[in-house]
Structure 1
Amino acid sequence: MPKLDLAKAPVKTGSIYPEPYAAQMVGRSSIRLGELAGLTQFGVNIVTLEPGAVASLRHWHLREDEFGMVLEGELTLIEDEGETIMRPGDCAAWKAGVANGHRFVNRSDRPGKFLIVGTKSPEEVATYSDVDMQIHIAGGKARFTYQDGSDWAGHRDRAPKGENNG
């Protein structure tokens, strides 16, 4: 395949999250390089975060590995263990099945960019660490549930750990 023309890559803005979480993704966009190249086994995106923007809700994947590398600016990586300042060239990786919720946040006054590469498992479950929600991917379709597996019916406050979330 010849050199990819980034100007021809699809750009995704917004989120597939249900409200109120979709509104929290303002200021995030991603250049879909894997889609441009026709890749089917893994995704490759360059994500831009405007000042104050977040990349996602904190999450972890059951079947998909992820790798992230900061390309521009200064981003904060938030994981279960705490926060880490990430600058160009800094990398992080998350192994499938390890329950370490993670996300990038831009707390600086300039845009930041990072490369994200991840497995494209045909069936996947991602769990959101700070809210009572999961996403289930199967057959190319996404379905949101609460963490107990019941169908999503809207935001509900999360009970403290160890208590029933229903």
Structure 2
Amino acid sequence: MPKLDLDAIEQTNRTGYPPPYAEAMAKRHFRRLAPAAGIEDFGVSHVVLEPGGISSQRHWHDGEDEFVVMLDGEAVLVEEGGETAMRPGDCAAFPKGVPNGHHLVNRTDRPCTFIAVGRPAASDCHYPDVDLHLDANSGAFVRKDSSGF
């Protein structure tokens, strides 16, 4: 059956970020929809941000496109060019290779929900605000000077 039962898909707030960058993810909860649907060519996540939550550390990818659709509530898209309110129905696109660090921040007093579409990172990922870099060769997070955590 093509319709997914969200309640049957595990919701988690796991993160691969090393300390101290992982702590900021405590108010982000997501469900990986693509594996539950048998989709293999791209990822789809159903994400809920509690008030004060962020979607990720602000980042951009060398080789992966990303697309976001706001479903419920409101968040602020923070990117290189400034900030933009994202409300239900709003979409944002982040083409690969464009150095536009971005993330969503919930500055309201109620949860917001969005869908994020992309692929798991297979290329370098850059985090302009913190001393963090995802190295594609090793698949590990390293400091910007390439030293480990």
Same fold (TM over 0.5): yes
Superposition RMSD in Å:
1.6
Shift of residue 152 of structure 1? Answer: 2.1
Computing the radius of gyration from Cα coordinates, the structure with the larger value is 1
Structure 2 unaligned residues grouped into runs of 5+? none
Give the aligned residue type for 1:147. Answer: K
Check the 8 A contact 1:12/1:32 in 2, yes or no.
Answer: no
Check the 8 A contact 2:34/2:43 in 1, yes or no.
Answer: yes
Q: Greater relative contact order: 1 or 2 (C-alpha under 8 angstroms, separation 6 or more)?
A: 2
Q: TM-score, normalized by length of structure 1?
A: 0.83
Indicate how the Cα distance of structure 1 residues 19 and 120 shifts in structure 2: closer, same or farther if over 3 A, else same: closer
What is the count of residue pairs matched by the alignment? Answer: 149
Q: TM-score, normalized by length of structure 2?
A: 0.92
Name the structure 2 match of 1:30: 30
User: Secondary structure, in 3 states, of the residue corresponding to 2:24?
Assistant: helix
Q: What are the Cα deviations for residues 28-72 of structure 1, in whole angstroms up to 9, with x where unaligned? A: 100111121132211001110000111110000111000001100
Shift of residue 2 of structure 1? Answer: 3.4
Shift of residue 73 of structure 1? Answer: 0.4
In 2, the alpha carbon distance for the partners of 1:74 and 1:2 equals 28
Name the structure 2 match of 1:151: 147
In 2, the alpha carbon distance for the partners of 1:40 and 1:104 equals 25
Name the structure 2 match of 1:74: 74
Q: What are the Cα deviations for residues 57-116 of structure 1, in whole angstroms up to 9, with x where unaligned? A: 000011100000110001000000000011000110000010000000000000001110
Structure 1 unaligned residues grouped into runs of 5+? 154-166
In 1, the alpha carbon distance for the partners of 2:4 and 2:88 equals 22
Share of identical aligned residues, percent? 48
Q: What are the Cα deviations for residues 122-158 of structure 1, in whole angstroms up to 9, with x where unaligned? A: x2211101012111356xx84011234x2323xxxxx
